[in-house]
Chains A and B, each alone.
Chain A
Amino acid sequence: AQKVTQAQTEISVVEKEDVTLDCVYETRDTTYYLFWYKQPPSGELVFLIRRNSFDEQNEISGRYSWNFQKSTSSFNFTITASQVVDSAVYFCALSAVWTNAGKSTFGDGTTLTVKP
């Protein structure tokens, strides 16, 4: 079985603050992909990043950065200098290549509110 845990249900910050969204996963597969998606109030899911299990390099994309640590089964997401437009629900997801037929399992999501 595979599982994704996003322990933070809601986070509220003031604009320009940095914020980290936690994601912890479980899988028996050695080959898997991890994802982050953003869901703004409109409902549409926006793909942010995909990371495969063999690539532990951290990644930075503008104000976004991701910290993948296999030792702790975590894939955390940091937004630097947050903006009001970052307010959304963020989902972490896991897709194992060989088990579970490649289906994605989503965490419960973290609702981020950035106040001006």
Chain B
Amino acid sequence: GAVVSQHPSWVICKSGTSVKIECRSLDFQATTMFWYRQFPKQSLMLMATSNEGSKATYEQGVEKDKFLINHASLTLSTLTVTSAHPEDSSFYICSARDRLQETQYFGPGTRLLVL
């Protein structure tokens, strides 16, 4: 099946720093990528939809200035958590949609811990 990678797989940073997470579709082109956040023992919450070549669409309650999304190519989307705070600590998961199959393929996730 299609493969989506995320980098880094985990990151620990100090409060106030910015963290960039990359999401790549390795063997298919993804015009749309999604970013989710998952807190412990909770479901996945969609943060934003990333479309190649256009601005991301954010879900209600998600600060677009804090969570910067860039979808620079058909295989790469990045999420930057700016001025991270401890409450941003979470598991961030991206997915890429293969439009031909209407299936989302998920990355392995990135665990962020902000001290």
Contacts and interface: CB of A to CB of B under 8 A. Distances in A.
A binds B: yes
Best-buried of A91, A97, A104, A107 by chain B (most CB within 10 Å):
A104
B49 A101 contact: yes
B105 to A, nearest CB: 7
A106 B59 CA distance: 14
B1 A47 contact: yes
B111 interface: yes
Contact of B46 (A35, A43, A47, A103): A103
Given A101-B57, A103-B34, A107-B43, A44 B111 contact: no
Interface residues of A, number: 21
A35 to B, nearest CB: 8
A95 B46 CA distance: 12
A102 B34 CA distance: 11
Interface string A88-111: 000100010100011111111100
A64 interface: no
Given A91-B43, A109-B43, A45 B93 contact: yes
Interface stretch (B15-23, B65-73, B96-104): B96-104
B106 A47 contact: yes
Contact of B43 (A44, A50, A95, A108): A108
Nearest to A101: B49
A52 to B, nearest CB: 8
B89 to A, nearest CB: 14
Interface string B59-103: 000000000000000000000000000000001010101000111
Interface string A35-49: 101000001110100
Given A102-B32, A108-B43, A37 B91 contact: no
A33 to B, nearest CB: 6
Given A95-B102, A106-B43, A109-B43, 15 more contacts: A33-B102, A35-B103, A35-B104, A43-B108, A43-B109, A44-B108, A45-B93, A47-B1, A47-B103, A91-B43, A103-B34, A104-B95, A105-B46, A106-B44, A108-B42
